[in-house]
Amino acid sequence: MPRKGLFRTKIADYTAMLASGLMSLDEFEPRILSRWVVEAIKRVSQTLVDEGEEGNLYCRLCGKGPYTRKGMYLHLVRVHNSTLVDLVTVESERIYSSSKRVKA
């Protein structure tokens, strides 16, 4: 479905932008995504990148690097696109079900 494809593209894009530091967590307030997904993107993005000396960035998923912020972003969306979506999906489902348990 085209709409679902766009959704997945957006999730991977946002996650990579946050992980690489091209966008800050404060700037990230997309209205099109549910708050479970937004929270999941924030959490997952913080686990993807190691920052080495002089601001060099390394991919924790495959160990490649060093990258600049822009290079890190491009690497994540090109190489790990479906992994980013999978990680965010699993995390958002976990957040959603745990939040329901708290309310119940």
Residues that bind Zn ion (CB under 5 A): 59, 61-62, 64
Tokens representing residue 97 in the block: 């079900």
Between 33 and 80, CB nearer to Zn ion:
80
**Residue closest to Zn ion when measured from CB atoms:** 59
**Least separation in angstroms between CB 35 and Zn ion:** 28
Furthest-apart CA atoms within the chain: distance in Å: 48
Between 33 and 65, CB nearer to Zn ion:
65
**Least separation in angstroms between CB 55 and Zn ion:** 18
Between 61 and 95, CB nearer to Zn ion:
61
**Least separation in angstroms between CB 75 and Zn ion:** 6
How far is the C-alpha of 104 from the C-alpha of 89, rounded, in Å? Answer: 23
Q: How far is CA 33 from CA 10, 14, 40, 71, 74, in A?
A: 9, 11, 11, 26, 22
**Least separation in angstroms between CB 12 and Zn ion:** 13
- Helix and strand tally (H, E) in the chain? 4, 2
